[in-house]
Amino acid sequence: MDVDFSQLRTFAAVLDEGTFDGAAAVLRITPSAVSQRIRALEQHVGQVLLRRTRPVSTTPSGEVVMRLARQVARLEQDASEELGFTADEHAYVTIPLVVNADSMSTWMLRALARMPVRHRALFELHREDEYHSTALLRDGTAMAAVTSVPEPVQGCTSEELGSMRYHAMASVDFAERWFPGGMSPEELQKAPMLTFDRKDDMQDRFLRKRTRRRITAPRNYVPGALEFVDAARLGLGWGMLPDPMLTDSTDLVSLAPDHPFDVPLYWQRWRLESPVLDALTAAVRRTAREVLRQP
């Protein structure tokens, strides 16, 4: 497929900015020129690639073209760097990543800080549940992801990083009030549960594994990793908390100390020979070995 690079850059800019006008401002061309390039790209491909919503979104065919646009841009930047065209100390490259909240709060930022300065890398972090993060790889939004999905997305590689260990935790007062005799199915039906958001089913998976029953409990939604721990400390409910966030947990008690819950994590990245992605993968791999439980 012979595609004009300027059309791919424009296509990516429209999705990044959300509107044709925003893309025009970034590319320093007119909105009419943006529209013409997108129309020409769709005519060349023979399919509608964008839904003209606010913000714009991709069609299934557009997701394929978006991945191509991202990959071409990455290769262009790598080639420019190797040829010395981006030697300017103020020139940076932005790497979009998707990471689950607990990894972001406990170890991922440390990995990013280990990126060699010579790569002049910036990061656009997208927070997503570890079981849903591959969608952003699939549609071209992200170049790499921390995910619990081992099967690589088309065009990506996948490697196991280790497992994040979780424990069912609650405040001492909460545990004494709701579980005086332990986590029985009857009490679990009544005790408030903490959930990150409506995609988060970790507590439910833990309960199914422990009780072999499907339990429907009242729940509080707390969409923030640190806030989630605070909510448990304040007695708003019980929830699954990761090992690295329990270093100072004297005000919390484990509700099932003999039943930890391990969540395997994988690193998926585009299958490209890219010095920047290679360096990032090395930093992620090193940091994960320090924090996660290894196979």
DSSP state letters, 232-247: HHTTS-BEEEEGGG-T
Mean pLDDT of 115-144: 90
Mean pLDDT is highest, among 63-67, 153-157, 290-294, for 290-294
The pLDDT of 184-190, averaged and rounded, is 92
> Is residue 183 pLDDT above 80, yes or no?
yes
**Rounded Cα distance, 104 and 88, in Å:** 30
Percent of the chain with pLDDT over 90: 60
Closest to 86 in 3D by CA, of 272, 271, 276: 276
Give the integer Cα–Cα distance in Å for 172 and 233. Answer: 8
Instruction: Print burial letters for 147-178: b (CB count within 10 Å at least 16), e (below 16).
Output: bbbeebbebbbbeebbbbbbbbbbbeebbeeb
Mean pLDDT of 216-230: 95
pLDDT at residue 234 tops 60: yes
How far is Cα 227 from Cα 127, in angstroms, rounded to an integer?
15
Taking alpha carbons only, the member of 53, 97, 46, 57 closest to residue 74 is 97
pLDDT of residue 190: 94
Task: Tell whether the model's pLDDT for residue 88 goes beyond 80.
Answer: no
Three-state DSSP state, 105? helix
Helices (H), 99-191: 101-103, 109-113, 134-138, 172-178, 185-188
CA distance 151 to 159: 9
pLDDT of residue 91: 64
In this prediction the pTM is: 0.78
CA–CA separation, 259 and 166 (whole Å): 9
Q: What is the pLDDT of residue 175?
A: 97
Beta bridge partners of 166: 242, 261
Q: What is the pLDDT of residue 97?
A: 95
Going by their DSSP bridges, the two strands 261-270 and 252-254 should be labelled as unpaired
Confidence of residue 208 (pLDDT cuts 50, 70, 90): very high
Q: Is the dihedral of CA 197, 202, 207, 213 positive or negative?
A: positive
Residue 86: pLDDT over 80: no
**Percentage of residues in the chain with pLDDT exceeding 70?**
96
Query: How confident is the model at residue 118, as a pLDDT?
Result: 87
Sign of CA dihedral 272, 276, 277, 281: positive
The pLDDT score that the predictor gives to residue 231 is 97
pLDDT of res. 1: 65
pLDDT digits (tens, 9 = 90+) for 63-85: 888 888 888 877 777 777 676 66
Average pLDDT over residues 169-182: 95
Per-residue pLDDT at 87 exceeds 70:
no
Looking at residue 150, what is its pLDDT?
96
Q: Report the pLDDT value the prediction gives residue 84, as an integer from 0 to 100.
A: 65
| 131-139, Cβ contacts within 8 angstroms, sequence gap of 24 or more | 131/199, 131/201, 132/199, 133/98, 133/99, 133/100, 134/268, 136/98, 137/98, 137/268, 137/270, 138/63, 138/67, 139/58, 139/63, 139/66, 139/67
Mean pLDDT in the chain? 90
Are residues 159 and 267 in contact, defined by beta-carbon separation less than 8 angstroms?
Answer: yes
* pLDDT value at 89 more than 60: no
pLDDT tens profile 241-289: 999 999 877 899 999 999 999 999 999 998 888 888 999 999 999 999 9
Place of tokens 């991709």: 58
Respond yes or no on whether the N-terminal peptide bond of residue 31 is cis (omega within 30° of 0).
Answer: no
Q: What is the mean pLDDT of residues 188-205?
A: 95
